[in-house]
Amino acid sequence: MKINNKTLFDVLDFKIGKAVKLKSLKEGDTEILKSGKKTYKKDIKTNLEEKEYIVINNMSCDLTFISKDNYKNYYIGNGCFMMSLKKEYEGIILLKYLYYIINLQLIDVIKNLRHGSLQQFINIGDLKKLFSQVKLN
C-alpha cells in the first residue's frame, strides 16, 4: 500500500483516554497519563492494546511515545489522546517516525490550537483537522 497523498489523519487511529478515580487506587507500577503535567504511579491494569502509541496531553501538549515493549506500564486517562497506526498501515510506516514529525514540526502549531480561558486545552476535532492537512510523502 502506498502512502503518497495520504495525511496524518488518514494513517492514524484516534482515541480519547478514559477517566480514572485516582483516590480509589493504591500506589503501583502503572503510570497514568492524564491532563496536566503530573503523572501518577498506581495499581491499575493498562487500557492499551499490545501496539505502539503516540499520546498527547490535551492541556500541556506533551507527547509520549509508547512502544509495544512497555505498553503494559501505562494507563491513558482523561485529558489525553492516543494515536496508533491504522491496521492497514502497520509495517508500512513507523509510528516513531510520525512521532518525530509531530514533535519537531507540528508541536508549536498544536499548542496554538489550545483554547479556553482558565485551563487551555486542545479539542480532538481541531487536532484531527490539523492532521488532515499534513501530507506524508
pLDDT in tens, 59-78: 999 999 999 999 999 999 99
Does 61 map to a domain?
yes
Percent of the chain surpassing pLDDT 90: 81
CATH of the domain at 35: 3.90.220.20
CA distance 53 to 66: 5
Does 15 map to a domain?
yes
Does 1 map to a domain?
no
CA distance 6 to 80: 25
The count of domains in the chain is 1
Would you state the pLDDT for residue 30? 94
pLDDT in tens, 91-136: 999 999 999 999 999 999 999 999 887 778 999 999 999 999 999 9
Q: What is the pTM of this model?
A: 0.91
CA distance 23 to 124: 27
- Enclosing domain of residue 65: 6-136
Does 31 map to a domain?
yes
Does 67 map to a domain?
yes
Does 102 map to a domain?
yes
